[in-house]
């Protein structure tokens, strides 16, 4: 190609093709999901009393997220999750004291993606979860009707997970995933005043979400 105009024309066409391919792979998206969550309590923080103990470690979870698919293999995502409301109960034979444990938080993740087909992909998740654990004790001290002031603890943990998503068309799809939010809450021990700790738990969730491009 000895003619400069011809060379420039070919280069422009090639570059426009690359840009168009990149634009097709890059998009913003948002989504809403529900799931089954678990907060696995640390026995050292909750058990060991003389009373009959029961716990509810599973609940419904909810999440919302917004993200950008930067290219075919990487996305970044900001999410909010209400992991659930869990219970640790102590029964003295006539009255049940109920420790209600709530977990919520904001996550920021990098999402490595592998495209299996044009519409189906699998992905991983690695980031940070900024959690808030809140503990409220009802029938505190086995006094019917009494309740403690809510104890609250914020922390940051490793957020990880994996999943798959399928787009029905160029606008909407579904996502199934598992997320591990890591350890939430604060330690209860002999060195920590009982009125200030929330207790610790490992929080996880399996969810299904609707996802929309925009």
What pLDDT, in 10s, does the model give residues 72-99?
999 999 999 999 999 999 999 999 999 9
Q: Are 188 and 194 in contact (CB under 8 A)?
A: yes
- 111 pLDDT exceeds 90? yes
The reported pLDDT for the residue numbered 194 is 63
CA-wise closest residue to 33 among 205, 183, 214: 205
Give mean pLDDT, residues 45-69: 94
What pLDDT, in 10s, does the model give residues 27-56?
999 999 999 999 999 999 998 788 999 999
CA atoms within 13 A on the CB side of 77: 30
Q: Residue ranges of the alpha helices (H) in the chain?
A: 4-25, 43-46
Lowest mean pLDDT segment, chosen from 72-76, 149-153, 203-207: 149-153
Which of residues 13 and 156 earns the better pLDDT score?
156
- 4 pLDDT exceeds 60? no
What pLDDT, in 10s, does the model give residues 171-187?
999 999 999 999 999 99
Which of residues 17 and 203 earns the better pLDDT score?
203
57 burial level (CB within 10 Å; 0-12, 13-18, 19+): middle
The reported pLDDT for the residue numbered 170 is 83
Q: What is the mean pLDDT of the chain?
A: 88
Give mean pLDDT, residues 148-167: 95
Give mean pLDDT, residues 62-80: 97
Look up tokens 């678990």; give the residue: 38
What percent of the chain is modeled with pLDDT above 90? 75
């Amino acid at each position: 190609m000895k003619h400069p105009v011809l060379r420039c024309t070919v280069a422009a066409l090639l570059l426009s093709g690359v840009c168009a391919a990149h634009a097709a792979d890059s998009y913003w998206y948002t989504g809403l999901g529900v799931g089954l969550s678990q907060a696995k309590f640390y026995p050292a923080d909750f058990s060991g009393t003389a009373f009959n103990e029961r716990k509810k470690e599973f609940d419904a979870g909810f999440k919302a997220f917004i993200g950008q698919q930067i290219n075919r293999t990487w996305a970044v995502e900001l999410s909010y999750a209400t992991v659930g409301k869990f219970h640790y109960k102590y029964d003295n034979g006539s009255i049940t004291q109920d420790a209600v444990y709530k977990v919520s938080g904001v996550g920021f993740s990098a999402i490595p993606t592998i495209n299996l087909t044009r519409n189906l992909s699998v992905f991983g998740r690695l980031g940070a979860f900024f959690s808030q654990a809140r503990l409220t004790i009802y029938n505190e001290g086995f006094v019917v009707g009494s309740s403690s002031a809510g104890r609250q603890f914020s922390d940051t943990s490793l957020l990880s997970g994996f999943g798959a998503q399928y787009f029905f068309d160029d606008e909407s799809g579904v996502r199934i995933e598992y997320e591990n939010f890591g350890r939430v809450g604060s330690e209860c021990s002999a060195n920590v005043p009982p009125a200030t700790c929330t207790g610790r738990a490992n929080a996880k969730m399996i969810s299904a979400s609707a996802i929309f491009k925009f």
